[in-house]
Amino acid sequence: MPAQQRRVRPRDRNNVLARPEFMSLGQSLPMLQENRGPNRKQSGQTGNSTEGAKERRQSQQLPEEDCMQLNPSFKGIAWNSLMAIDIAMSKRLGVCANSGSSWGSARSMVKLIGITSHGFPWIGGTIVCLWKSNTLAGQEVLTNLLLALFLDILTVAGLQKLVKRRGPYDMTPGVLDYLLLDVYAFPAGHASRATMVSKFFLNHLVLAIPIRILLVIWAFMAGLSRIMIGRHHISDVLGGFVIGYLQFNLVEFIWLSSNTCQMITSLW
């Protein structure tokens, strides 16, 4: 026995785990769990159960989010790239965004172009013309135009509320924009209205070729003016053009007859 003890002691001296500071590493796992058990119970009693549930949910969600960030899909990369190009080009075209911009002196004139496609002038003018109209054909066209204008306001307001996209520049909407629910950027209501009205006139009015060309140019300039003053992105205006064309087709599909229009106008 003494010989065995003499052989063990040098080993204990050379063994790193025999040192006091490393004694815990040599303990078995059950002993460690027993030592940690009361601490866990105490922390569990003092902690909030709802916070623990939130932490568990976050720990389950974090790996998936990390995978999405580290391994984005091709569609995600393409979409983010297009959005970055859209924002960069829209800010570059916002030459009248404020008085200090490169075309800041022309801001009032560019805003005037946008006002020509505002909802209030078109709705008010259509109501006045409808009130003074004496022919059935005129009442039919004006009533359907008024229907298209109200449809445009409701469609644009609903989509803007759904998407809630801000413009390229931090600008507060005007009072008329709040009244017409034209607060957010996508889609551009002025662009959709100008497209719908110009298409409506081209199809239902007999106009000379120069006037027809001017209508198309006006619709394009109305959308471009909203980009130049920094109110909308390029994609917002393009989306407005598409929505305005679709609205015209919808009004053509649900076109109100002259008898229906006469019945509506007789209520006034």
- Please say if 190 is a catalytic residue: yes
118, 204, 232, 233: the catalytic one is 232
List Cβ<8 Å contacts ≥24 apart for 13-21: none
Residues 169, 233: Cα–Cα separation, whole Å = 9
CA distance 148 to 151: 5
Write out the two tokens for 107: 């801001």
Three-class DSSP category at 250? helix
* Helix/strand/coil for 72: coil
Beta carbons within 10 angstroms of residue 245's beta carbon: 14
Question: Does 233 qualify as catalytic in the annotation?
Answer: no
Given the residues 118, 190, 204, 233, select the one marked as catalytic: 190
By annotation, the residues acting in catalysis are: 190, 232
